[in-house]
Amino acid sequence: MAKNTGLGNKVVTTGGTVEYMVPSIRTTLVASIATLVLVGCGGDPTQELAENADVTDVSLEPLSNTSTTEAVQLDRPLLAAPSVIPTELIITDIVEGTGRAVSEGDTVWVDYTGVRSADGVEFDNSYQRGEPIAFTVGIGSVIDGWDTGLIGAKAGSQRRLDIPADMAYGDNPPGGVIEAGDALTFMLEIRAVVATSTSDDIPEIDTAAYPPTEDLELTDLSIGEGTVVRVGDSAILHLLIGNADSGDILFETWSEGQPTLIQVVEGYSIPGLYEGLQGMAVGGTRAMSVPAELAFGDEGIPDLGLAGGTPILLVVELVGTY
């Protein structure tokens, strides 16, 4: 993938700020109550995205216009320009983190702020968009300074990267604030580090052991040792949806290679998932037997062949939260 080819559709806002928006890809799985949305992350000039760039996010949209609890507002770390413009990559860990360390081929979920090293002028940050970006490390979907500088960073860490121009955009900047020959400085917060998954990673589960129930029932298949999910957090997770009546598996994310990002906010996912996630710790896997009224109600999910009034089985592997 070329390093300096632009990002997609360039949008100039009324304030003069240049943003780069990547076209979204939307797959509807729920008719009128909830949808699983596949969105290419955009708006960040750290990425050179081709038509099929490996940068994705999957989330559950709000179920309705009813009132919801609010997501936790994130504090953005301060970032000042370095005292000397970097001529080589400088990696500084502000917070070490305790989770999985990044290896080439892993998918990472990262919040960031980026400034020009010469003067500290900010050109982009993910916090204003309200969600991190996700990408696979080592395949060239981000600048070299990120592909190299993220190796070894642990989930939960805060890492500063001072990146020389030849590991950023060199003499071919994407436009906006960044100019030819600019060194760049980033502050990164690593939300999750996930090994690429396949269908072989789907949890082995006997769906017959989770028959339809009238109440939400939770079974921990494994206990995580990481951060515990709080109401208002964002949760990064792998998800399986099964028909509790038939035992058929309708949807799962492991085969796609990337987890899902949802808000643990009342009204932003089915009630059973919102309730069932609470108290989980990163690294854990939980089965949730969900009655129809806490799942997709009388509407069901026509696109998945789930009739209205059908109870479901959810299996969740929590890989990150913040």
Single out the residue of 310, 296, 308, 316 nearest to residue 247, CA to CA: 310
Cα–Cα distance, 195 to 100 (Å, whole number)? 9
Say what the pLDDT of residue 286 is: 98
Question: pLDDT at position 73, please?
Answer: 56
Which H or E run contains 148?
A: helix 144-149
Burial label for 182, CB within 10 Å (0-12, 13-18, 19+), is buried
Do the Cβ atoms of 182 and 105 come closer than 8 Å? Answer: no
pLDDT at position 276 is 97
Tens of pLDDT, residue by residue over 140-170, are 999 999 999 999 999 989 999 999 999 999 9
pLDDT over threshold 60, residue 72:
no
Residue 257's pLDDT band, with cuts at 50, 70 and 90, is confident
Note down the domain range covering 99.
Answer: 9-194
* Residue 1, in any domain of the structure: no
Please check whether residue 17 lies inside any domain of the structure: yes
Q: Dump pLDDT digits (tens) for 86-124.
A: 999 999 999 998 878 999 999 999 999 999 999 999 999
User: pLDDT tens, 220-247?
Assistant: 999 998 889 999 999 999 999 999 999 9
> Is residue 60 one of the residues assigned to a domain?
yes
**CB burial string 113-127: b at 16+ within 10 A, e below:** bbbbbeeeeebbbbb
Give the separation between CA 270 and CA 316, rounded to whole angstroms.
14
Q: What is the CATH number of the domain that holds 237?
A: 3.10.50.40
Q: What is the pTM of this model?
A: 0.70
Residues 14 and 116 in one domain: yes
